[in-house]
Structure 1
Amino acid sequence: MGAARVTRRGFLLGGAALLALPGTALAATAPEIADCAAWGARPNSRVVNVVVQRPVKILVHHTATPNVTDLSRGAADALARGIQNFHMDRRGWLDSGQHFTISRGGFVLEGRHRSLEALRNGRKQVEGAHCTGQNLVSIGIENEGTYMDTEPTGVLWDRLREMCAYICGQYGIAPTEIYGHRDFKDTLCPGDVLYGMLPRLRGEVGGMLGQRLEGSSVRAASWPVLREDDRGPVVEAAQRLLRGAGRTEVAVDGTFSAAMAESVRVFQAEHATEEVNGIIGGESWPLLAAPVQAGDGGEAAEAVETLAATSSTRPPSRVGPEQWQQLLTAAR
């Protein structure tokens, strides 16, 4: 972990940083983190961009790889090498895209070179490649496995919680600023189950930092992910918004059919989204959710009425991105 030193935010004692956010009584201890050299990383192919600014959020990912039973350090190192090879050889990136990786065995590894150095500094960030539009403002953590219908291992969860608390302490990030990849892109990542555990993660990280979080602070409003076979008022709202965006072939029936998925793909292609996959997530929703004012007519206004009626709330006089998220979250 390097030589012990005193930092601006706390004390580094015997290699473990003890950190506390302003106004808190508790401290977060840094987990053991293996740097790139420790797991046999290749050299980065181009210069890694390091900026003198602090990230403002954490993005949680899953690797979408098998939920292996080999929980050894050797398996963790092999995972990190496999991710780096894929990112460099298949995607043409200069290095691993994520800043850090946590294995199912609970080993934390540096992903992109210099990420650990920047984190320890507390005032710098490495530009990642884990989520377009978020790579200079967030820290990306990959969690080994696929968490659509199963929870991560207990040791992985413990390290994720510790790592998030350490990152929050180093950079002054609020625990409420922990998100999933799907909050910003049309993706199922980090899986339905792990994404559903993020309110718990925010609360536990807050607890480690002496902050009591509850209610909307833990369960933040967000853009929901919709895919084929989904049903309900949120799907109906999406159908109306698609029609308002020119996809008038979409039926308003509250069922996400194969035909609707094809219309979504056409919409995504028209708007040059990163993924053209028929999934409505954190990239397509902001493009679809047009601003609505009281007294407006049209499909977007009908979508607002549908969501408000479902959640028994009064439609706000003005609906922008934040109000759309609140309405969608309440109607789920």
Structure 2
Amino acid sequence: MGGGVLLATAALPGIAHAAPAPAIVDCAAWGARPNSRVVNVVTRRPVKILVHHTATPNVDDLSRRAADDLARGIQNFHMDRRGWLDSGQHFTISRGGFVLEGRHRSLEALRSGRKQVEGAHCTGQNLVSIGIENEGTYTDTGPTGVLWDRLREMCAHVCSQYGIAPTEIYGHRDFKDTLCPGDVLYGMLPRLRGEVGGMLGQRLEGSSVRAASWPVLREDDRGPVVRAAQILLRGAGRTEVSVDGEFGAAMAESVRVFQAEHATEEVNGIIGGESWPLLTPPVRSGDRGAAAEAVEALAVTSSTRPPSDIGPVQWQQLLTAAR
């Protein structure tokens, strides 16, 4: 059930070409249960796309039937185990390249180009982003070619419909302490932004393709970014943390304590897009303390002179350069 009403591209700044929709299987066609409560629909456009993986097996069954089973399984988990009113994501792409509507009314809202369904795929982003789940686990391997093609087409169409810049395509980990969408798929996001930009008549390169982001740290990581995180954790009151540049089990436990203290969504010992902003206060020239010490440590490692004022983007740049 593809297609949809495309808005005039002149109304969407920066988009030279409209991108048609891939075929999209709606909720009724894959046998979705009714939503348990009213789906909230707002009259405003989302401003970004969040890419997820389902963290399910990388199955060899690429059939439509397998795709429908996947969508039903996700909905059952979200409704029965998490207590949500429906599937949390707006759309799902199977390893066989089938695109399925996730939460009810998501396809209707996309076709309008002016409405947004409130999702449940990433706290804090559910009213401003479109969540796209990709079947599989992409920690050590990449998605199938046909899944990638549909993801690219789907992102281009969503950008076209809502006037979203391709540079506003992110991974789940950019906003939460999670490994999602997996190291490999996350590492492919610059390519995705560039290919989507090409489909929309935009040429993206350099920093436009490689958006500033928070690095994910987990057990067994080591190096200068871990050292900076340890300095920041000590500054945040976790004085039991050793500053040795090694992310061991003791540090993971300290991170979990920090997360619990700050009521983060995940208490899992992973430092990602939710914990980093809590650990990295603004730093100005002449400041002292743990944050300033961490900035200096990162700058020395990366041979980069830090700017006089450090905010979220500058922190991301320093952490990425020292990675």
Pair in the same fold by TM > 0.5: yes
Residue 299 of structure 1, CA deviation: 1.3
Alpha-carbon distance between aligned partners in 1 of 2:79 and 2:158, rounded to the nearest angstrom: 26
Alpha-carbon distance between aligned partners in 1 of 2:4 and 2:243, rounded to the nearest angstrom: 62
Alpha-carbon distance between aligned partners in 2 of 1:178 and 1:48, rounded to the nearest angstrom: 24
Residue 26 of structure 1, CA deviation: 3.5
Is the partner of 1:29 in helix, strand or coil?
A: coil
Q: Is the 8 A contact 1:268 1:284 kept in 2?
A: yes
Superposed CA deviations along residues 171-209 of structure 1, whole A, max 9, x for unmatched, are 000000000000000000000000000000000000000
Counterpart AA for 1:79: L
- Number of aligned positions between the proteins: 323
TM-score (norm 1): 0.95
Matched, 1:195 2:186: yes
Counterpart AA for 1:101: T
> Residue 278 of structure 1 aligns with which residue?
269
> Residue 204 of structure 2 aligns with which residue?
213
Counterpart AA for 1:41: A
> Residue 237 of structure 1 aligns with which residue?
228
> Residue 81 of structure 1 aligns with which residue?
72
Residue 312 of structure 1, CA deviation: 1.0
Alpha-carbon distance between aligned partners in 2 of 1:212 and 1:159, rounded to the nearest angstrom: 20
Change (3 A) 1:117 1:324: same
Q: Percent identity?
A: 88
Q: Is the 8 A contact 1:20 1:27 kept in 2?
A: no
Q: Is the 8 A contact 1:247 1:267 kept in 2?
A: yes
Counterpart AA for 1:295: G
Alpha-carbon distance between aligned partners in 1 of 2:52 and 2:238, rounded to the nearest angstrom: 31
> Residue 7 of structure 2 aligns with which residue?
8
Alpha-carbon distance between aligned partners in 1 of 2:152 and 2:3, rounded to the nearest angstrom: 24
Residue 4 of structure 1, CA deviation: 7.3
Alpha-carbon distance between aligned partners in 1 of 2:149 and 2:124, rounded to the nearest angstrom: 28
Residue 47 of structure 1, CA deviation: 0.2
Q: Where does the alignment leave 5 or more consecutive residues of structure 2 unmatched?
A: none
Alpha-carbon distance between aligned partners in 2 of 1:94 and 1:31, rounded to the nearest angstrom: 27
> Residue 269 of structure 1 aligns with which residue?
260
> Residue 173 of structure 1 aligns with which residue?
164
Q: Where does the alignment leave 5 or more consecutive residues of structure 1 unmatched?
A: 11-18
Superposed CA deviations along residues 202-241 of structure 1, whole A, max 9, x for unmatched, are 0000000010000000011100000001011110110000
Alpha-carbon distance between aligned partners in 2 of 1:315 and 1:25, rounded to the nearest angstrom: 37
After TM superposition, the structure 1 = structure 2 runs for residues 1-332 of structure 1, keeping only pairs within 5 Å, are 1=1, 7-9=6-8, 21-22=12-13, 24-332=15-323
Q: Is the 8 A contact 2:2 2:24 kept in 1?
A: no
Q: Is the 8 A contact 1:20 1:209 kept in 2?
A: no
